[in-house]
Amino acid sequence: MVEKQTRTHESEEFLEDLAEELSVPPSRYEQADRSYMSLGDWLHRDASTVRQYGPKVYVQGSFRLGTTIRPLNDAEEYDVDSVCELQKLGKTSLTQQQLKTLLGAEIEAYRRAQNMNKPLREGRRCWVLDYADGAQFHMDIVPALPNGQASRLLLESRGYDARWTLTAIAITDKEGPTYTTVTDDWPRSNPKGYCEWFKSRMATALERRKRVLADSMRASVEDIPDYKIRTPLQAAIMILKRHRDHTFEHGGDERPISVIITTLAAHAYKGEETIGEALAVILAGMDQHILWHNNRYWIPNPTDPLENFADKWAEHPERATAFYEWLQKARTEFAAAARSSDRRVITEIVGRGVGGSMADRTARRRPPPPPRSPLLKTASVAPVAEGLSFPDRSRVPTKPQGFGGAE
């Protein structure tokens, strides 16, 4: 772990400004809210073919977690991940294919009613609604059914923690072996449970910031939506995701997936109060939560430890290598930047990881400091390796003790 005194006030300010530069405008969150609520209203209209099944549409993924970042450029879009859960249907009532077709017909009718020009697209697990070019976002809608009781029984039978299973769902996967079969064996997911786990990792920081904002607005804490608050954990994840995006801008499938970064960061976070402290602790400790289980890397879903977020690493070992190389690069760069009190040096070093234009925009968010005395030497840009406080080699996970009780 980096000692506290190795992080300068200037480097902390820069990270705060960088998180602000990466942040999604509140209007985008409100736009996402309106989009999935509008679809929900459509599914509950009198003529709806799914109304009797209790359709419920809700957002999942980074928009739900508060870790969405601005796209790299104007050509990229925000990806609003959502779920449409038919709460009054069971897995043995129909096949995954039938559920997806049933919901797809309603989404297509909604697209036409909304005069959306771009055709509805089918993904492996979802339907994709493409909004107008100016909106700069698309919405993935995953068809789902309730699966809480089955998930709880499954995890308890294996000796796992089942506390998050109440909101578990069964989802469709057109490439899965049971897609066209009436069966109890559906792919599992639990975006609401994952979000509750994630919030539990930053509960103290979230509550404190909500209270401060509520006091300043003379409002109650309950009136403050989560998206108006950004904790050090959320900010650190946003920064790491941007660093990942820039590092793998041309890297294809080797790019570490967001759920791995988010899960490992949330495990490593220990309630630090500043972004710099959180980033240092996360970078130092996130690989300690990569397990070695059955001769493969294992990053369990905290709400369903039978799911391995790193399942593709066995088939594609280059992805594991890429993750560790990226982690070491991030450790090196952020540790070097943390030692400097010269904003030009910080901008240059952080820019190597997040992109020069992003770092320059971040630097311009704050007025420049007063001129320095000519008697003082002008600091030159320090080599990134200077002052490295992280281990110089990647840790190789050992077989964990008591894997069944992993949090």
pLDDT, one tens digit for every residue, the chain (407 residues): 444 447 999 999 999 999 999 998 888 888 888 888 999 999 999 999 999 999 999 999 998 999 999 887 777 788 889 999 999 999 999 999 999 999 999 999 999 999 999 999 999 999 999 987 666 788 999 999 999 999 999 999 999 999 999 999 999 999 999 999 999 999 999 999 999 999 999 988 888 888 888 888 888 877 777 777 899 999 999 999 999 999 998 877 899 999 999 999 999 999 999 999 999 999 999 999 999 988 999 999 999 999 999 999 999 999 999 999 999 999 999 999 999 999 999 999 999 999 999 999 999 998 876 766 555 443 334 344 333 333 334 444 443 333 333 33
Are 8 and 46 part of one and the same domain?
Answer: no
Are 78 and 140 part of one and the same domain?
Answer: yes
Are 18 and 63 part of one and the same domain?
Answer: no
**What ranges make up the beta strands (E) of 220-339?**
291-293, 296-298, 300-301, 304-308
Boundary of a domain, candidates 189, 218, 248 = 189
Domain-located, residue 210: no
What pLDDT is stored for residue 207 in this prediction? 86
Are 105 and 250 part of one and the same domain?
Answer: no
Domain-located, residue 291: yes
Domain-located, residue 276: yes
Are 242 and 308 part of one and the same domain?
Answer: yes
**DSSP bridge pairs for 78:** 137
State how many domains the chain has.
2
Domain-located, residue 321: yes
Are 168 and 43 part of one and the same domain?
Answer: yes
Give the domain extent around 240: 1-23+230-407
Given a contact cutoff of 8 angstroms between Cβ atoms, the answer to whether 161 and 193 are in contact is: no
Are 130 and 245 part of one and the same domain?
Answer: no
The rounded distance, in Å, linking the Cα atoms of 321 and 316 is 9
229 CB-near residues (< 8 Å, 6+ apart)? 66, 206, 209, 210, 213
Boundary of a domain, candidates 189, 213, 243 = 189
**DSSP bridge pairs for 291:** 298
253 CB-near residues (< 8 Å, 6+ apart)? 316, 319
Domain-located, residue 203: no
**Which alpha helices (DSSP H) does 4-59 contain, by range?**
9-22, 26-43
Are 11 and 75 part of one and the same domain?
Answer: no
Q: What share of the chain is helix, strand, coil (3-state, %, to 5)?
A: 50, 10, 40
User: For residue 184, with 0-12 CB atoms within 10 Å meaning exposed, 13-18 middle and 19 or more buried, which class applies?
Assistant: exposed
Are 242 and 172 part of one and the same domain?
Answer: no
For residue 66, give the CATH number of its domain. 3.30.460.90
- How far out from the chain centre does Cα 318 lie? 22
pLDDT in tens, 235-264: 999 999 999 999 998 877 899 999 999 999
Domain-located, residue 49: yes
Boundary of a domain, candidates 135, 162, 189 = 189
Domain-located, residue 215: no
H or E stretch covering 164: none
Are 257 and 400 part of one and the same domain?
Answer: yes
Domain-located, residue 143: yes
Are 294 and 398 part of one and the same domain?
Answer: yes
Global pTM reads 0.87
pLDDT in tens, 140-186: 999 999 999 999 999 999 999 999 999 999 999 999 999 999 999 99
Any idea which residue has 């002008």 for tokens? 378
Are 17 and 42 part of one and the same domain?
Answer: no
